[in-house]
Structures are given as C-alpha cells and as structure tokens.
Structure 1
Amino acid sequence: MPISPPHSETDTHAVTNQPELRGDLDLWADDPALQDHGHTADAAHLAQYGAKLGRAEIRAKGRTANHHPPEAVLFDAGGRRLDEVHYHPAYHDLMQIGLTGGYAALPWEGAKGGHSTHAAMVYLTSQVEPGVCCPMTMTYAAVPALRATQALFAEWVPKLTARMHDPAPAPLRHKAAATMGMAMTEKQGGSDLRGTTTQAVRDGDLYRLRGHKWFCSAPMSDGFLTLAQTPGGLTCFVVPRWLEGARNAVHIQRLKDKLGNRSNASAEIEYADAYAHRLGDEGAGIRTIIEMVHHTRLDTAMAPAGLMRVALTEAHHWATHRSSFGAQLIDQPLMRRVLADLTLDWEGTLALGLHVARAFDSTDEADRVFARLGVALAKYLGNKLCPPLVYEAMECLGGMGYVEDTPLPMLYREAPLNAIWEGSGNVICLDILRTLHSVPDATDILSAELNTATGQSAQYDAALKMHIQMFPNLPDEADLRWYVESLATLMTASVLIRHAPPAVSDAYAATRLDARGRTAGAITGVDTTAILARLMG
C-alpha cells in the first residue's frame, strides 16, 4: 500500500531546500570501494547482507536501539537476584540479522575468504548500528581462544557458531545458540592485566572466582572469558552465565553510563565465588586471551571505516540536495574539496583493514606475522582519523549535523570507541614494537610488504626512503607514535597503489605522504570527481 508523503505546506511557509529522506539503500551495490578492496570476500553473501541492512526499516531499528538503551534488572520483586540486562526488541532484531547472517560463524565454517567476508560484515553492520557489533565480535573472536582446552572448545563452539540469536537466560546445553563476552579490566590495572587481583580457587574439576571487574562487555552473554590469579599465576577462565538450576554468582553492580555505544550494555560485575572452567594452563592467561584480542582488533580496525562511510554519505546526500548562495552545495569547489579529502581517509581505512583481513585467511606463517602487525597498524591509524572525519562531515550539514534527527551525533559519540577498545593508541604502539623486537623475521616481513608497491609512485618511493632514513633502527618508545603513524600511512598507500584507481592512490600519496595542511580540504591538485565517485558509485 502506498504511503502518503508528509505535508510540504505548513500554515506559515512551504518546506523547500531540504533533502528528502534517503529511503532504502544498498550498502553493497552502492559501494564500489568495498567491492574492489573486498575482492577475496564472498561477494554474493555480502550483496545479500548489504541490501538487507540498508533497508530503511532496518536502519530505523538501529536508531531505535540507540534511543532505548538497555536497563539493568538486578532483583525481582521479592529481592532475589536476577542480574539481568533487558534490551529493546530492536536490538534483538539486529542481533538476529547479524548472527543468522554469519557474522560470528562464517570465518570458522571453512569457506574461502571467511575472515575477509566477516571483516566486510563488520564494516556494513557498523553503518547501521555499531552497538550490536560488540557481542557478535567477541563471540567470533572467542573461537580461537577456546582451542586452548579441547573439551571447552567442543562444548561451546557449536553454540557460538550456530547462526542464530537465542537470548534466553538458560544453561548452555538448553540453548540453540550462545554468545561470549569478556571481563578482564580491573580498577587498579587497566590495560596492565598483570595487575589482576581476582582470585581463583580450585573446587573439584572447576574453580571458584572471587573479585571485581571494572568493565564487562555484553553482560548478558552466555559466558565470559576472564582472567584470575591461581597458584600457577595469571590464568584464563570461561565463566558460564547460567548453571543447571541456578544462576552463576556473576553479580552486576551497575551499567556504565557511556558516551556512545548506547544500545550495548557494559557493566561492572563481581564474581562472588562464581563457578569457572579453566581455559589453558595455569599461568598462561595472557597467552590464551591474546588470541581473542588479536581477532577483536580486526573488528576495531574495520568499524571506523563503517562509521566514516555513514558520515560521508550523509554529508554527500545533504550537499547534493541542498543549495546555498545560488548553487548546489556539491557543485561548490570548496565543498567538493572537503568531501574528496575526507573520502581519501575513509577509503584508505577500508582498504588497509580488508588487506589485513586477507592475511587472517592465510595459513602461511609470514602472513600470520603480518596479520599481527598489520591489524595493529590499521587499528591505530583508522581510529585516529575517524573522529575528525565525523566532525567535518557533521559540519557539512551545518546546524542539522548537530541534531539527533540525523545520524551524525550518534556517529560522533561512537567515533572514539574503537581506539580505546582492545588497546588504546599507546598500547598498540608498544605492541607493534614488541612484535618487531621479539618475532623472528617480523621486520623483514614488514619491509617486504612495503616494498611490494615500489616502482609505481614517485611520492611513495620517496616517502618510504625518507621513513627508512628517519628510522634506520627501531625507534625509542617516545618516538613510537610518529613511527607507527608513518608506517600505517605508508602501508595504506601501498594497498591503494595496488588496488585502487590512480585518482585515489595518486591523491593519497600526494597528500598523505608529504607535508600537508592539518584541516580537511587543505589539499590541491587532485581529481575530486573521480575520488567522490568512490563514495557514492
């Protein structure tokens, strides 16, 4: 049945010079850059997923989930502990779309390009509702960590990869599907997990955990990977949320009142002698959990590219349908220069993230080393670029960009998150330095990757030579940010030179590898039409 359009005539004026609502979108078909850089992913699957997510009704669910944040329900009417979090139905609808679409399962099902397809799904889902990505990402990333104990792997992984969403508060064996969360950070330790004070005491085949966790991501997950101290040292555990006939002693203290990521709950919890299964050996906690962290970092490298794209497409839509000073905004040279400049940062972030995802799909040892380095470089640079890009896109809309009727305020609140999650900037820089120091051939593997693009761009070759001259050896800790930003920018340029049209790769090399202005639009000598075509197809 056709829907009647809203009235354009009010009692006092006619509504003009306002863009129409965007309606249904196709997040795959309208994104030539994703198609180019995701060339090893499952295109047919992504085409279906992107078309579904782009529908106006699904995007509306994302807005609804953000406007109705989760609520902690700690006790029933009689004062008995529940320790539950209740979500709006729109949140569950989006979880169902992602999980049935294979967000958590697809990389482990054996299909070619599984991690590349997953990475593209993170990018697409982040454009609609980034909050639901957190529990699905942790569920995806828990699978390789669970390999540390075969019995737990056999028990949990079939439910984590079941391609459905089952939010019922029930023991694992009664569930059709499950999700896995994470609870590691404590007040006194932060990123330094060695400062963990939660204690684990053996109780038969299990352990009892007692302690406080300052951040528990997705507290309604069916289990959590967590760290606690044992006689053998810091150890990883799986804490089931629900027991047979009882609730495990995982007590929610409060939900965090966060800047963004509003649809997703993050909590402070206490383990009050909660039952837990040891994962891996005593004392091997960091080594065990790092497999999960490694895979969640891939998603934190992809999510900012999704946020950037939404911000830019909103700005482009506004500029295309809004006139000012006698001309369409999109035809005004200064606006075109700003949008083209921002588009280079978005496509570079997307290209590097998907390039790294291909290394996750490889079984070659050199690719595994590159994946560890590359994901850290991609996470660092993409998340440093995301907040200022979203702000600039917001400014393109003027006052409307600051109003919740548009997605820009949500994107602005969301933009810093992935830089903080799974290692803030300094932690990432230090991890890159440790890898280069400790992993055999890591420096040679990184150099070989950078050299792949030489001989095709004079700017790139000169910038690479300058980087080598500036850092003939691994840098001191104080210079790490400069070093990592330079490496990540060179790596991005190398990927664009290999896989993007010359208008994009040449412009990136000319404006990112040499001195440039620090504000968007302070570039010259680039083909804005060709670059902007990458944004809207």
Structure 2
Amino acid sequence: MDELNDEVQQAARIALMEWQADISKNSYTRDNDLIHTVQFSLPNTFSTFNAELEAFGDAVASRLEPLVNENNLSANLPHLDEYDALGERIDKVKHHPSYIEAGDIIYASRLLAKMAKPGGLVECLSLLFLSSQAGEAGHNCPIACSAGIIRVLQRVPDFPDKAFYLEKLLSPSFQTNFTGAQFLTEIQGGSDVGQNAVRAEHDQKEGWRIYGEKWFCSNAGANLIFITARYDQTVQGTKGLGLFLVPAEWKGKKNHYRLRRLKDKIGTRSMATGEIDFCGAHAIPVGSLEEGFHLVMDNVLHLSRLFNAFCVLGMARRAYTIARAYAKYREAFAHPILDYPLIRENLARIKAENAAMLAAIFATARLQDQLDIGEWPNQDGKLLLRLLVNIQKYLTALYSVEHIHHALDVLAGNGTIETFSSLPRLLRDCIVCENWEGTHNILRMQVLKDILKYDIDQIYITFMQGEFAKLDVTSKHTQLLAEKLNEFERELSQFRQLNPELQSLNIQFIVDRMAILYCALMLLIEAQDQKEKNKSASKLDCYQYFYILHIADKKIHYDQAYLDLITRIISTE
C-alpha cells in the first residue's frame, strides 16, 4: 500500500514538474495572438523587431521571473541604510543582488531606448507588456517614471544638461543608467494635487531649493526626481505649482533631502517606496513655472496611466498562462481539470477580456505614436487620447485584479502559496497598480469633467464611427456592434439631462460602456485581420465571448454552442 501511495504522489509531483517546465517557455513565442497584435501594430518594422521580442520573451520566463521571485522574499526586500560606517548620513536604499540582475535583464531589452525619438511607444510598450509578466518586478514602475521624464525633457527647450540626462535615462544598462521618479503626493492629498504645500524658494546665488515633505515616493532611490512644488505662496491650487527636476547628487555631493522611512506595501514590495523630507534640495525648473502642472498632467501622468494599463495586462496574461498550464497537468477525479467546463469557462473569460483590452491599449499606443510624429491630423486627438487612456487605465486595472484572482482559483490551495507560483505576488502587485495614477472614481470624474467642458463624449462617438470603416459592413458582428454604439449615443444624450449629483453616479455606467465598446471594436478589427491573413479565428472567438459577456442584451445560454465557444478559446494559448 505504501508503494502504491508513493507512486501516486510521485506521479503528481512529476506532473507539477512538467507544469513548471511548461510555464518556463518563451512568454512571447507561445502567444500567437500577441504576435499578431504586434505585427498588426508595426507592419513596417515587425520583421526586425520580432527577433528582439523573441529574445526578451525567452529571458522573461526562464530568467527574469525566478530572479523576481527571489527578490520578493521577505528577507530580500529593499531596506534603508541611513548612515555609513562613520556615522555620515547617506540615506541609501540597499537591494538584494537579485534586484540588480533583474534590472540588467529588463533594461538590456532596450525598452526605454525605444523612446529616443517620437514614435517609439508601441515598441517600448510591447517590451513592457512582456517585462510585466514578471509583475512590477521592482523596475517596471521606475521605468514608467523614467519614461515620463524622458517625454517632458524632449519637449522643453533649453534645459540645462538636457542631452546628458536623456542619454543616462535612455541607456540600456541598469549598471550605468539613471532611473527616474515622480513625487507629487503629500500627506494631505494624493489626487488633490492642488493642496500641495511643498515649496520651491529661489536663491539668487544657488537657484531653486525645495523644502517640505513628500508622502508617497516610489523608487525612493532614484537618480532623478520630478517633483511638484509651490513656487508662489500667494497662488493657491494647481496654478501655483511648478515642476522641478531634483538630481540625487548635486555637484558631486548628496542633494539635500532625507529618506524618513520605507513603506510596507501590500504589493510592488521589491520597489522601494518611502517618505522623504526635502531640506533645501537643489532643483531645476522644468519648462516655465506656470506650465508645471500641465506638463505633469499632459505628459507624466498621462504616460504613467498608459504604462500602467500595459503592466496590469501583462500580469494578468502571465496569470492566465500559469493557470491554463496548471489545469492541463493537474488531475482530479481521474481527469485533467482542464476537462471540466467550469474551469474552461473561468479561463476563457480571462483570455477573452485580456485579449479585448490588449487590442484596445495597443490601438491607443498606435494613436499616441501617430500624434507624436504628426501623422494623425485630428484636431481633437489630444483630448481623445486623454479619454482613451483614462478609461483603459480604469478597466484594465479593475479586470486584471479579477483575472489574477480567478487564475489563482484554478490552483486552489496551491495558488495561495507564495513559493509555489508567482500568482500571489502578481495579485498583490496588480492591486497596487489598480490604485496608482488615479483611482477608479478619480478617473470617472475626470471623464465627467471632460464631457461637460470639452464634449469629449461626442469626440468619442465620432472617432468610433470612423473606426467602423475598417470593418466588413456586411458582417453580422459589425452590424450588431454598430447598433450598440448608436444605442450608447442615445444614452449619452439622456445622461446630459441629469442633475450634477445623478451625473456623478451615472458616470460609472458611461465610463464602463465607453471602455467596453472601445475594447470590443478594437478586438473585432484585429480579429478580422487575423482571420484574413492568418486563417485563424482565435480573436474572433474571443470577441464573440466578450460580446456575450458585456454587450449582448440576452442572458447567457449554457448550451452546446456556448461550451464549444469557451473550449475553442482555451484550446490555444
């Protein structure tokens, strides 16, 4: 009997070893739908860029994820050394060697180097999507911060040592580059930036100095810090805020700020977040003082939200890969659990929703690149992109947390064990990302403000109607989706008749509907292309399920056609 038990347990252990080997395979080449999305987005450069993605995809699954898992162990998390051996104040954030190794892999992908010129966002974010399959990894948030600094410095003229800073930020070597940070939040307000009290004072001899406390400082050990500070104490609100660059070192010496402590966060724990006191830190104004807040909103925060969407989708996609592979190798009641319809339904929903949101966020990145290089002659392009990024930051974060949670469900008790898979860490990281760069309600209210001030709802409808020209108008999918857009346009008119308090409640439905319809349309456009060029219906199946889940009026019919659909969706990775 003991021998029989040993055989049963050993067979189960071998199956888990096969599962581990499976999920260590290339994160890019195993995902044919992703390959199609990148090719669809970059038709002119795909043949050369594809090799970079293949190389990085291999590194992410086989080398990066194990390093990040090791770095995220409690004993290996970052810590603060306030003083050196001689008692001198140094405020040094110390990291485990695995953090450095992970950074070497991520930055060597040349992810940020893609931003050297306008028009490189799609390539940059394709790599970020793969990098984020290892979670925040201690580096993906700083990458987003660095990208914001790069974008602003490229747009402001006559910035001191601009070429030097850009070269260091764009460098593909973590050992020698500079990383960036964005410090806006103070204890009295996060999203309410107009309450900022940190002040910037001008000294005739030494220039601008920063005084005060910043409460939520991610990448606390950054080389370069973008910080908002009140340059005129008589001007209240955001109009009195300037944007400044604070280098960690000033003329070869530590700049004048102190790290009070590192925060103990629920997730993104490998990335040091602290509270910092600025004690006359030397700073360089970025652009004119008066445009500081707008530089932050239009470039730094806008880009961070776009990066955030790619990050959480990457995390959720990795969770799907882990869960699907587990369901393939794990047996219960004499069958692989992938055979059970409830498991298939769970996985199919994750895949279909992730596919729709990924198609949408890639479409948005393409539009941003086109706007940046002047190839999108849309006078409302800037406003439209702000809307698209805001609604997608909201939806991707909301759904991706659910997706990782339900991927963890597939592993049952094993899914809750930190050392069994990366799922617990991915879930914790994703929860943090959900609340960064604007909570759900902040994003909803920004959309409401833009509807009332800029008629952004009409800009959205006009854009969506134009996108339908890319589809086969005879297709039933096109016709049904077009009807739903027309229906939504009527609902927007009714929404505008509501009083302000009711609008602030109903904006939840409006933002949901905007995001869902945009995701559906972008996925349908990709699905049509995939079917024509690759003879694959993978994305069309995902579209049909997404439509059933979120757009169709009828309740789900749990019939054979439904079972066949969810089975087809998970039959491919």
TM-score (norm 2): 0.84
Deviates more, 1:296-305 or 1:197-206: 197-206
Structure 2 counterpart SS, 1:121: helix
1:505 aligns with 2:543: yes
1:20-35, aligned counterparts within 5 Å? Answer: 20=17, 21-23=19-21, 24-35=24-35
- 1:391 is aligned to 405
What is aligned with 1:120? 126
Give CA-to-partner distance per residue, 1:318-360, whole Å, 9 cap, x none: 1101111221111222221221122111111221111111112
Deviations 1:27-48, CA, capped at 9 Å, x for gaps: 1111112112222243232222
Equivalences for 1:28-43 in 2 at 5 Å? 28-39=28-39, 40-41=41-42, 42-43=49-50
Aligned equivalent of 1:359: 367
45-54 or 301-310, which deviates more: 45-54
Aligned counterparts, 1:198-217, within 5 A: 198-204=198-204, 206-217=207-218
Decide whether the 8 Å contact of 2:197 with 2:229 is kept in 1.
Answer: yes
Where 2:71 maps in the other structure, the secondary structure is helix
SS in 2 for 1:77: coil
Match of 1:127, SS state, is: helix
CA distance in 1, matches of 2:348, 2:8: 35
Whether the aligned pair in 2 keeps the contact of 1:230 and 1:283 (CA below 8 Å) is no
Within 5 A, what are the aligned runs for 1:45-444? 45-55=52-62, 57-67=63-73, 68-109=76-117, 114-130=120-136, 131-146=138-153, 147-152=155-160, 153-166=162-175, 176-204=176-204, 206-231=207-232, 233-290=240-297, 291-362=299-370, 363=374, 364-366=376-378, 367-404=381-418, 405-439=420-454, 443-444=458-459
Cα pair distance change 1:517/1:265, threshold 3 Å? farther
Structure 1 residues 449 and 66, CA gap change in structure 2 (3 angstroms): same
Shift of 1:443: 2.7
Question: How far does the alpha carbon of each residue in 1:114-157 deviate from its partner, in whole angstroms, 9 at most, with x for none?
Answer: 21111111111111241310111111121122233432433421
Kept in 2: contact 1:433–1:474 (CA 8 A): no
Question: What amino acid does structure 2 have at the position aligned with 1:488?
Answer: A
- Range 65-74 or range 17-26, more displaced: 17-26
How much has 1:177 moved relative to structure 2?
Answer: 2.3
Match of 1:170 in 2: none
**Could you tell me whether the CA contact under 8 Å between 1:507 and 1:526 is conserved in 2?**
no
Q: 1:335 to 1:525 in 2, by over 3 A?
A: closer
Between the aligned partners of 2:568 and 2:289, the Cα distance in structure 1 is: 56
Inter-partner Cα distance in structure 1 for 2:480 and 2:207:
59
Where 1:94 maps in the other structure, the secondary structure is helix
* Residues 103, 118 of structure 1: 8 Å contact kept: yes
CA distance in 1, matches of 2:145, 2:405: 28
Q: Which runs of 5 or more residues in structure 2 are unaligned?
A: 43-48, 497-502, 528-538
Structure 1 distance, partners of 2:182, 2:124, is 20
In structure 1, what is the Cα distance between the partners aligned to 2:352 and 2:241? 44
Matching residue of 1:172: none
Query: In 1, distance between residues paired with 2:77 and 2:458?
Result: 45
Check the 8 A contact 2:394/2:440 in 1, yes or no: yes
Over 3 Å counting, the alpha-carbon distance change for 1:103 and 1:446 in structure 2 is: farther
More helix by share: 2
Secondary structure of the residue that 2:10 maps to in structure 1? coil
Aligned positions of 1:1-12 closer than 5 A: none
CA distance in 2 between counterparts of 1:381 and 1:10 reads 47
CA distance in 1, matches of 2:393, 2:210: 33
Query: 2:514 and 2:200 mapped to 1: Cα distance?
Result: 41
Q: Is the 8 A contact 2:72 2:269 kept in 1?
A: yes
User: Are 1:490 and 2:506 counterparts?
Assistant: no
Q: 1:391 and 1:422, CA in 2 relative to 1: closer, same or farther beyond 3 A?
A: same
Deviations, residues 502-522 of structure 1 (Å, cap 9, x unaligned): 21212211221135889x99x
CA, structure 1 residues 440+156, in 2 after alignment: closer, same or farther (shift >3 Å)? farther
CA distance in 1, matches of 2:131, 2:555: 33
Say whether 1:19 aligns with 2:16.
yes
The answer (yes or no) to whether the contact 2:104–2:174 under 8 Å persists in 1 is yes
Q: Deviations over 1:4-44 (max 9, x none)?
A: xxxx9998974223422423311111111211222224323
CA contact (8 A) 1:183 1:216 kept: yes
Query: For residues 44 and 197 of structure 1, do their structure 2 counterparts lie closer, same or farther at Cα, with a shift above 3 Å needed?
Result: same
Figure out how many residues of one structure are paired with residues of the other and give that number.
Answer: 514
Give the superposition deviation at 1:450.
Answer: 4.8
Deviation digits for residues 348-380 of structure 1, max 9, x if unmatched?
A: 122111111111211325244432221112111
In 2, Cα distance between the equivalents of 1:129 and 1:512? Answer: 27
Listed one character per residue, the Cα deviations across residues 273-297 of structure 1 (whole Å, up to 9, x for unaligned) are 1111111222322112121111111
- CA–CA separation in structure 2 for the residues paired with 1:105 and 1:331: 44
Task: Give, in whole Å, the separation in 2 of the partners of 1:391 and 1:469.
Answer: 36
Distance 1:9 1:236, change over 3 A: farther
Structure 2 residue matching 1:82: 3-state secondary structure: strand
- Change in CA separation of 1:331 and 1:417 when aligned onto 2, cut-off 3 Å: same
Tell me by how many angstroms 1:89 deviates.
1.4
Match of residue 3 from structure 1: none
Report the residue type matching 1:529 in the other structure.
T
* Aligned match for 1:460, one of 437, 462, 481: 481
1:396-439 CA deviation, whole Å, 9 max, x = no partner? 11110111121111112112222211111111122223334445
Greater Cα shift, 379-388 or 22-31: 22-31
Offset at 1:304?
1.3
Instruction: Report the 3-state secondary structure (helix = DSSP H, G, I; strand = E; otherwise coil) of the residue aligned with 1:151.
Output: coil
More divergent stretch after superposition (307-316 vs 490-499): 307-316
8 Å contact kept, 2:209–2:281:
yes
State the SS of the aligned residue for 2:178: coil
**1:189 and 1:352, CA in 2 relative to 1: closer, same or farther beyond 3 A?**
same
CA contact (8 A) 1:459 1:513 kept: no
The unaligned stretches of length 5 or more in structure 1 are 1-7, 167-175
Q: SS at 2:441's partner residue? A: helix
CA distance in 1, matches of 2:548, 2:32: 22
**SS in structure 2 opposite 1:252?**
strand
* One-letter amino acid of the structure 1 residue matched with residue 284 of structure 2: H
For 2:241 and 2:520, how far apart are their aligned partners in 1?
A: 40
Instruction: Go from structure 1 to structure 2 and tell me whether the alpha carbon gap of 1:365 and 1:477 turns closer, same or farther (over 3 Å shift).
Output: farther
Aligned to 2:500: none
Q: 1:368 to 1:36 in 2, by over 3 A?
A: farther
- Indicate if the aligned counterparts of 1:450 and 1:494 stay in contact, CA closer than 8 A: no
Share of identical aligned residues, percent?
Answer: 24
Q: Output the amino acid matched with 1:378.
A: Q
State whether residues 148 and 288 of structure 1, in contact with CA within 8 Å, keep that contact through their aligned partners in structure 2. Answer: no
Q: Is the 8 A contact 1:378 1:488 kept in 2?
A: yes
